[in-house]
Amino acid sequence: MKREHQELLRRLALNDEGALTALLGTSLAATGPGGLDARTAALVRLAALVALESASASYQWCVAGALAAGATDDEVVDVLSVLAPVVGAPRVSSAAPEVALAIGCDLGMPPEPSGA
């Protein structure tokens, strides 16, 4: 494999904002024109990631962004609670350990991802 392919794939796997922005042509953490603040936008993004059963790196990226934008741990956990009836318990429970880790709480029950 070409070296630059390797580097790109690695950066995509890390949920690297620069690489993803270049790929998508728009900032990954863009806020909308309607004035949704950075904190709320990050929480909405987190909800979407849970619904999609995303990779560990995506959760870490998203939650770190939410916390940096001023979201509290409680708010992050709330996202899971309000999502459960909509996306179903399995998605929420698979996201829970990852989200916990992202807010600095190691539940000690890793969902060992395939190919880790």
Partner 1 sequence: MGRAVGAEAGTRDLDPARWFGSDVVFEESKLRLPPTHGDPVVRSRLLARLEEAGDVPVLAVAAPPGYGKTSLLRQWSARAEAPVAWLSVGEEDNDPAVLLAYLAAALARASPIDAARFRRRMPPGTPVPVIVAQRVAAALSSTGPVVLVIDGAEELHNDQCRDAVAELAFRLPPTARLAVGSRGTPPLHASRLRARGAVTEVGPDDLAMDPTEARALLAGSGVALPDDELAELVRHTEGWPVALHLAALAHRRQGRLRTPAAPFTGDDRLMADYLRTELLSHVPRGRSAFMIRTSVLDRLSGPLCDAVLGTRRAGRLLQELATDHLVVPLDNRGAWFRHHRLFRDLLRAELAQREPDLEPVLHARAARWCEANGLPEAAIGHAQAAGDVDRVARLVAGRALVAYADGRLGTVDRWFRWLDERGALATHPPAAVLGAVLMALMAQPATAERWAALAEQAPAATTMPDGTPIAGWLALMRGLQCRGGLAQVRRDAGLARVLLPPGSPWCVSAAVAEATSWLLDAEPERADALLAYAVAVGRDVGVGPATAVALAERAIVAIARDDWDDAERLAGRALAAVHDDHVGDHGWAALVHAVVARTAAHRGDVGRARASLAEGTRLRPQLTHAVAFLSVQTLLQLARACLALADAAGARAVLRDADDVLRLRPQLGSLRREADELRATVDTLQVGALGASSLTTAELRLIPLLSTHLSFAEIGERLFVSRHTVKTQAISVYRKLGVSSRSEAVDRAQELGLLGR
Restricting to residues 21-60, which ones interact with partner 1 according to CB under 8 A?
38, 56-57, 60
Q: Is 113 in the site for partner 1 (CB under 8 A)?
A: yes
Map the chain to HEC letters: CCHHHHHHHHHHHCCCHHHHHHHHCCCCCCCCCCCCCHHHHHHHHHHHHHHCCCCHHHHHHHHHHHHHCCCCHHHHHHHHHHHHHHHCHHHHHHHHHHHHHHCCCCCCCCCCCCCC
Q: Is 20 in the site for partner 1 (CB under 8 A)?
A: no
Q: Is 74 in the site for partner 1 (CB under 8 A)?
A: no
> Which residues bind to partner 1, rule: CB under 8 A?
7, 10-11, 13-18, 38, 56-57, 60-61, 64-65, 67-70, 98, 101-102, 104, 106, 108, 110-113, 116
